[in-house]
Structure 1
């Protein structure tokens, strides 16, 4: 669409010789300079999304929308996608998109009717990027007829040198029109800023100024620390352990949302650090021994918090401007906070400011509610791995104030880096356990194959439904992860530590799984062939058919119960994550069916009522142990490692029902079925039933007219 060869930056070279005309005058010292190793193209490479902020005078879409009322909405997000950078790395071209949401799919095409094409040039005197943008006309009908015109839109972008509780963005800018106010197409000045969780790259000279510390001293009285032996050691502010996700947010109506909380700046001016910004080569903090000196006492810290709440759960205080009350519409509440972290007690107390919104507009940083108190308590480093970070967000306004809101309680898992080191060791151990588990499954299935070959009359006595379930248990993981065996997916190549890749280990696991699957198929073929060639095949097929009549309804009822339980656990996300709920419930329930793989054989033995050893002891006892050991390991893991579900490889919580209660139930259920099968093969299939049920009901030969009347067609 946009030619890149021999392109001349004519617009910026003519008009930006003296900076950005009509732009807001900002002192050059208030913006950061670009280093020699970090050019403007490096800072804005790829696609960058920014939140648009409208001033209080913006009361109509026509007066503040760069495209007027024609597009039907007031944009909330602006995206700058770099097309090309000049050879001197000082000028670049952008495709500038205006959208009403921050999400953009990977394969989505830009809407050229709401996009601008712009040239930008870095002004080293004023330390800002100046951009001239032009409209794209006739793009909807045919790209051959599209053309560029109306180059009266201007943008400027800079990197603030000083951050504060009211200005936490590392990139800010503005958009304006150079047209006269009374001319068609004019719009009011609009500001924009980045709101990403990780803020971008840290340039040399960046500082954070604490402006609310007097209020912090009033609202956060210092607690008397307990003796160190009783409380343990709490995370250090420079350790990277203070960022966390708020998995549960509770209000007056119960659980209502989730969010994230990350430290922005830590320490004073001399030893200030920005944990979630990527430092450039010249701005990396020097190792001055701050970590050891900060192990005790109070330290200043600032946070960026993002909370997602359903609009239907917002009361008049959190939603003072009567936003949409759609049950499935999520509202993001952004809070910037600063305060004091006590390393002796693990408590953090801060004064917060939240950005106010009005419908689909976000006000500028000057319109904020800064009468908020945030408290957070971190668990000790040596605490139980299931310990949670707990906190609260309260309004200090009077209850009659329109901006006052009811307190919010939140909690989140503590993921300390020392625990992460243990988790890496655990993941390696679990990979080995998974390989051993699948290898043992191969050995036990081989024992059953030898058992069937050695005893010619045993093959027809094995439940085909049980063998199908075991084969699918190995096939499904292979199908879901087939690409890992044949292609290198860069997104799945996770660098865990020191260049150690997981690809080879995953391939080994899947190769062993495939061998186990092939042996299961071989065992199924042997039993099928033996049953079709025996003289009593009609009797065996009737028993198999009746076993299906019992097992299938049980499986269906269990699946319905599992889905209802899963949906109730995700009651606030049911609509948005309905596919994940269905798939997650199905996968976990399939694991439960595998745990009870002997159930079809038990039912088949009841209908058949024979005493022959259809299953080798090594097979049914060994496979039972292979299925139950992960649940025993899960009980041990829950008390000794950090609870990080996404890193589970052996005993994956997504592939089965895992919890303290489920682990005990499944272990007892597996042992129960193994014991039943053992005594069925010695005392008869109905040995545990009352006498009146022990009489055979299918031993009599029933006349059949032809092969087609059999429940299943056989082929030898």
Structure 2
């Protein structure tokens, strides 16, 4: 077996040469980029016909055509606009941009100013093809986009035109560096604006069409924010909302100076449309014709200085999802002005169409301002009205005129009712008489003194229905969240605030806390496979496609028994009309919901069980079969324990890796002290241990520089977890370097010994034994896993293969002593090649997590993705596997102990204990033998 024993001797020199090589390459690349982007382009050649170049003055101007951060949208940039490039994700493609104005200087020409700024194309998803460049596409590989142009040019305040030239650089899909030069032309940049003002423009490439750096023209659209005048609402809404449905002011909540309409609608809000009354599937009930949108989104553009008026972008969509950096479909959007009417306690909005956005954003203009909206916050909620924001949309056009549409209502249906809590919002129980009939009071059972159920005000009553069963097994999932508990707010639904500090009474219904009964209301949303819907649930002839899901929304109210943990409620199901939209005017309130909560001190694997039943006769067309469901209980006390457990596991992981460093250091000292011991350490074992530290470093290298904000915010919300994760990676790296150092010492020691050929033969034979064992074990593990998941798609099978590979690698690492045992057996060694501190210590480091997992399974809540020490994805963890691995690890350590005392083949019959290798290569003198020492 030919081995280059000098490989580690040249390691330091190779590292130095590689460092200087990378330094030279990176320096050349940086200089190339700097000189490429610093290249000036001829402004006069491209822009003098728009705004003539003028010598700028030193004085910086304090009035800018933009706000310092002006957002907008873009279209184009694709090589073939009619065939846009594909995306990695099926979510809508983002087309959002940001213009940052850095400096504005006066110039010698009248009303001409020099402007410097950046135009940033923002993206929402990874590897979105933003701009095509020749045969390649400029790629943005972050979730906020990286295509940034530096521009410099001149703006004419008289004509409102801005012309700039600039450049950027990016990498193509093939990894080629592209130098992008462009000219930016913007129109209608006035010092004041109103609802009809749109800032439009284009960005063109300065490269020739056959140049690899060329890209197609991009059109821009921005809503200006400088000195905006709310002229439309001041003229038409001076006396409330004409044309809107009259609602008593006392039935809506009022807003204060500290909680303004801008605070309530900040950012983006999505509402479900309800086509009721004269609307039907064959008739237009929105500004854009039939079949456009089941959701209306209100995105705030700007708020007035007094925070009583605002500008909105109103978009009609088919789904409620909208990413933070996603862009709207301007072809189905309106631009509107709104003002809060303190007399009627509602927001009045006037909206206008955006025309010609489909062809080019540069040609967009505003017109047809006959659409009206109103929005209010109901003061009273009930089982038939659980929305905290309701509104309506209507047209001011005559019915017989083109573009007219019937009145449409909208309301929020999300889990949380608003961004800010409103004082005075109350819940009124209206179905308690029916609750008494359907939920008869049971005789109190004798309960164990150890059983304690969650309190109604504790925030433990919200849960996820992970399994909803039907005649063919699981048919769906859902969520169930309290809306009101008694008359107090529920902490999981923060919009409800009592009108006074004492418990108010609503509709004469009072919770009987002395008997352990508490009034409660819920919002439930479940998703069922369309193919599993029976006649009562499928009221609109839903498709039978098993991959399609149908949402069932139920509001319920009833009584919760604190003594038994049982909840019984009467529910109302929102029925869907022919256009498949929900309506609060059509409900089925013949539903009974029963839920049983496990005790707080029960097994952490306990589940919440319940059922949803129809109380109608079976022949009734709205009747449906019972839907039993179950869900995991995540009580707050359990979550608190889990957070403490995660901190403890983080500390245990740091201690474990630190001990691994110490034990490896003992082995290094052992090899240095006894020079003849190094060649007898199995190199395969050292490679396995080194890879056990290297693989986590490679998989999580980016986490040392980029915070895993999702996990820390959702679970911890602090920085201690992030700091500990960095410490763990540093400690793991130190352990890996020490393992590599130990491998180098053993390698060089073996290469310098006289018996190196004998030792390499033993190593080679050990490899022939270990590798087939590992391969056979992997085949068995993967075949068992594939049989358990034979129904899954290729995507999930790929995930299972990756996860199984990681777990099997952990099992191989648990049995790290196996190669040393085989090596000792072939070499028939009786020498103490391994320090007792090393093999016993590393064995304990690998086995303690499995012992801890046995304890954790019976004492902590099983919360997914929360295991840090003893991670189930990094090894085989179960009651059986924990026991097997612990016994196997101890067994291997005992074998090593006796091998180093009695010989490598002490457990074999005597006829197999003679060394064949030693007979072939006899030792001439005792000087070649390693030194023995007493341990």
TM-score of the aligned structures, taking structure 1 as reference length: 0.87
**Structure 2 residue aligned with 1:28:** 249
Query: 1:326 is matched with which residue?
Result: 545
Matched residue count: 692
Per the alignment, residue 451 of structure 1 pairs with 670
Query: In the alignment, is the contact (CA less than 8 A) between 1:53 and 1:361 conserved in 2?
Result: no
Inter-partner Cα distance in structure 1 for 2:908 and 2:370: 89
Deviations 1:409-448 (A, max 9, x none): 2222323233333333333322222221111111112122
Moved more, 115-124 or 378-387: 378-387
Aligned-partner SS, 2:605 = coil
- Are the aligned partners of 2:554 and 2:572 in contact in 1 as well (CA < 8 Å)? yes
Helix, strand or coil at the partner of 2:585: coil
Alignment of 1:503-518 (within 5 A): 503-518=722-737
Shift of 1:263: 0.8
User: Which residue pairs with 1:710 in the alignment?
Assistant: none
- Change beyond 3 A, Cα 1:621–1:17: same
Give 1:564's aligned residue: 786
Moved more, 503-512 or 476-485: 476-485
Corresponding residue number in structure 1 for 2:489: 273
CA–CA distance in structure 1, aligned partners of residues 437 and 773 of structure 2: 67
Partner of 1:242: 461
Instruction: Tell me the secondary structure at the aligned position of residue 315 of structure 2.
Output: strand
Structure 2 residue matching 1:26: 3-state secondary structure: coil
Any unmatched runs of 5+ in structure 1?
703-716
> Structure 1 residues 461-470 or 233-242, which shifts more?
461-470
User: Would you say 1:103 and 2:324 are equivalent positions?
Assistant: no
SS at match of 2:688: helix
Deviations 1:23-58 (A, max 9, x none): 222222211111231001111111112222222653
Distance 1:602 1:538, change over 3 A: closer
**What are the residue-to-residue correspondences of 1:281-680 with 2, within 5 Å?**
286=501, 294=513, 296-357=515-576, 361-487=580-706, 490-494=709-713, 501-533=720-752, 535-536=756-757, 538-539=760-761, 542-543=764-765, 545-547=767-769, 549-554=771-776, 556-558=778-780, 560-561=782-783, 563-564=785-786, 567=789, 581=800, 583-605=802-824, 610-680=829-899
Check the 8 A contact 2:778/2:808 in 1, yes or no.
no
User: Are 2:280 and 2:578, in contact at CA under 8 Å, matched by a contact in 1?
Assistant: no
Aligned residue in 2 for 1:77: 295
**Given the superposition, is the C-alpha separation of residues 577 and 564 from structure 1 closer, same or farther in structure 2, using an over 3 Å criterion?**
closer
Structure 1 residues 541, 600: CA separation in 2 closer, same or farther (over 3 Å shift)?
closer
Asked whether the 8 Å contact 1:347–1:377 carries over to 2, the reply is yes
Q: CA deviation at 1:532?
A: 4.9
**Deviation of residue 544 (structure 1)?**
5.7
Residue of structure 2 in register with 1:48 after alignment: 269
Asked if 2 retains the 8 angstrom alpha-carbon contact of 1:16 and 1:130, the reply is: yes
Query: Mean alpha-carbon deviation: is it higher for 284-293 or for 133-142?
Result: 284-293
Indicate how the Cα distance of structure 1 residues 315 and 579 shifts in structure 2: closer, same or farther if over 3 A, else same: farther
Q: State the SS of the aligned residue for 1:258.
A: strand
Q: Secondary structure at the match of 2:488?
A: coil
Give 3-state SS (helix, strand or coil) of 2:338's partner. strand
Q: Alpha-carbon deviations, 1:258-317, whole Å to 9, x = none?
A: 2221110111xxx4334333359x868637799999364322100011222333443444
Q: Greater CA deviation, 684-693 or 467-476? A: 684-693
Tell me how far 1:566 sits from its aligned partner. Answer: 6.8
Q: Paired residue for 2:218?
A: none
Work out whether 1:156 is the aligned partner of 2:374. yes
Unaligned runs of 5+ in 2: 1-221, 922-935
Q: Are the structure 2 counterparts of residues 118 and 471 from structure 1 closer, same or farther at C-alpha, using a change threshold of 3 Å?
A: farther
For residue 153 of structure 1, give the secondary structure of its aligned residue in structure 2.
Answer: strand
* Structure 2 residue corresponding to 1:181, chosen from 380, 388, 399: 399
The answer to which of 555-564 and 123-132 deviates more is: 555-564
Checking the alignment, whether the CA contact within 8 Å between 2:347 and 2:374 is kept in structure 1 is: yes
Contact 1:373 1:396 in 2 (8 A): yes
Correspondence for 2:62: none
| Alpha-carbon displacement from aligned partner over 1:647-689 (angstroms, at most 9, x marks no partner) | 3332233333333233223323333333444445555556656
* 1:494–1:501 Cα contact (<8 Å) kept: no
- Give distance in 1, aligned partners of 2:920 and 2:795: 56
Question: Which of 1 and 2 has higher RCO (CA within 8 Å, sep 6+)?
Answer: 1
Cα distance in 1 for residues equivalent to 2:917 and 2:551: 65
Q: Distance in 2 between matches of 1:292 and 1:324?
A: 44
1:174-204: per-residue Cα shift (whole Å, max 9, x none)?
Answer: 2222233333333332222212112223312
Deviation at 1:163, TM superposition (A): 0.8
Contact 1:236 1:295 in 2 (8 A): no
SS in 2 for 1:440: helix
Q: For residues 82-125 of structure 1, give each alpha carbon's deviation from its aligned partner in whole angstroms, at most 9, with x where no partner exists.
A: 11111010111122222222233444332222222222111112
After superposition, the Cα gap between the structure-2 partners of 1:195 and 1:467, relative to the gap in structure 1 and judged at 3 Å, is: farther
Q: Which moved more, 1:85-94 or 1:467-476?
A: 467-476
Contact 2:460 2:635 in 1 (8 A): yes
> Counterpart in 1 of 2:161?
none
In the alignment, the residues of structure 2 paired with residue 673 and residue 621 of structure 1 have an alpha-carbon distance, to the nearest angstrom, of 10
Q: Distance in 2 between matches of 1:253 and 1:122?
A: 52
User: What CA deviation, in whole Å up to 9, does each residue of 1:210-246 have, x standing for no partner?
Assistant: 1111111111011111235456332211111111222
Q: 1:249·1:410 contact (CA, 8 Å) conserved in 2?
A: yes
State the alpha-carbon separation in 2 of the partners of residues 358 and 251 from structure 1: 25
Q: What is the CA–CA distance in structure 2 between the aligned matches of 1:228 and 1:246, rounded to whole Å?
A: 27
Deviations 1:474-497 (A, max 9, x none): 334334444553455654544978
Query: Counterpart of 1:364 in 2: which secondary structure?
Result: strand
Secondary structure at the aligned position of 1:365 is classed as strand
Q: Within 1, Cα distance between the matches of 2:653 and 2:862?
A: 19
1:386 to partner: Cα distance: 2.7
Look at both structures and tell me which one has the larger radius of gyration over its CA atoms: 2
What CA distance in whole angstroms lies between the structure 1 residues aligned with 2:871 and 2:673?
37
Please state whether the residue corresponding to 1:526 is helix, strand or coil.
helix
Question: SS where residue 475 of structure 1 aligns?
Answer: helix
8 A contact 2:373–2:394 mirrored in 1: yes
Secondary structure of the structure 2 residue equivalent to 1:191: strand
Please say which of residues 205-214 and 9-18 is displaced more in the overlay: 9-18
Query: Hey, what's the Cα distance between the residues in 1 that align with 2:733 and 2:862?
Result: 30
C-alpha RMSD of the superposition: 3.4
Deviation at 1:169, TM superposition (A): 1.0
Counterpart position of 1:712: none
CA distance in 2, matches of 1:317, 1:696: 81
Q: SS at the partner of 2:583?
A: coil
Residue 10 of structure 1 and its aligned partner are, at CA, apart by: 1.8
Distance 2:536 2:908 in 1: 65
Greater Cα offset, 447-456 or 690-699: 690-699
